[in-house]
Amino acid sequence: MKPECNKLLNCIDLFSGAGGFSLSAKLAGLKVRLAIENNPHAIDTYRNNLCEEEENSTVVIDKDISTLTPIDIHSEHFNDNPRCDLLLGGPPCQGFSAHRIKDAGVGDSRNSLIHIYFEFVRTFKPTAFLMENVPGMLWPRHKDYLERFFMEAREAEYFLYDPVVLDSRDYGVPQRRKRVFILGIKKGVDISNFIWPPTESHGKHEKHLKNPNLTPWINCADAFTKPVPKDDPNDIHMHHSNELVNAFKRTPPNGGSRKDSGRVLKCHEEYDGHNDVYGRIDSRAPAPTMTTACINPSKGRFVHPVEHHGITVRQAARLQTFPDDFIFEGGLIAAGQQIGNAVPIKLGQVLIEHIKPLLEAQHYAQNPPETCKKYQIA
For residues 303-325, average pLDDT: 98
Assess whether pLDDT exceeds 50 at residue 12: yes
Is 173 a domain residue?
yes
Q: 370 Cβ partners below 8 Å, 6+ apart?
A: none
- Binned at pLDDT 50, 70 and 90, residue 378 comes out as very low
| Predicted pLDDT at 204 | 86
Is 33 a domain residue?
yes
Considering the chain, what is the average pLDDT of its residues? 88
For residues 311-322, average pLDDT: 98
- Binned at pLDDT 50, 70 and 90, residue 292 comes out as very high
Is 321 a domain residue?
no
Residue 193's SS3 state is coil
* Domain count of the fold of the chain: 1
| Predicted pLDDT at 114 | 87
Q: What is the pLDDT of residues 335-353, one digit of tens each?
A: 999 999 999 999 999 999 9
| CATH code for the domain in which residue 124 is found | 3.40.50.150
- Binned at pLDDT 50, 70 and 90, residue 54 comes out as low
For residues 62-70, average pLDDT: 95
Assess whether pLDDT exceeds 80 at residue 199: yes
| Predicted pLDDT at 106 | 45
> Domain range for residue 97?
6-205+344-375
Least confident of 1-15, 158-172, 192-206, 285-299: 1-15
Is 299 a domain residue?
no
Percent of the chain beyond pLDDT 90? 72
Percent of the chain beyond pLDDT 70? 86
Angle, vertex CA 138, rays to CA 358 and CA 153, nearest 5? 45
For residues 285-296, average pLDDT: 97
| Predicted pLDDT at 268 | 63
Distances (CA, A) of 345 to 96, 150, 340, 364: 23, 27, 12, 27
Structure letter (DSSP) for residue 188: T
Is 65 a domain residue?
yes
77 and 120 Cβ atoms separated by less than 8 Å: no
| Predicted pLDDT at 200 | 96
Higher pLDDT: 138 or 208? It is 138
The HSE-up count of residue 262 (CA atoms within 13 Å, CB side) is 6
- Binned at pLDDT 50, 70 and 90, residue 271 comes out as low
Is 67 a domain residue?
yes
| Predicted pLDDT at 132 | 96
- Binned at pLDDT 50, 70 and 90, residue 156 comes out as very high
12 and 120 Cβ atoms separated by less than 8 Å: yes
| Predicted pLDDT at 269 | 64
Is 227 a domain residue?
no
Is 196 a domain residue?
yes
Angle, vertex CA 372, rays to CA 370 and CA 378, nearest 5? 105
171 and 200 Cβ atoms separated by less than 8 Å: yes
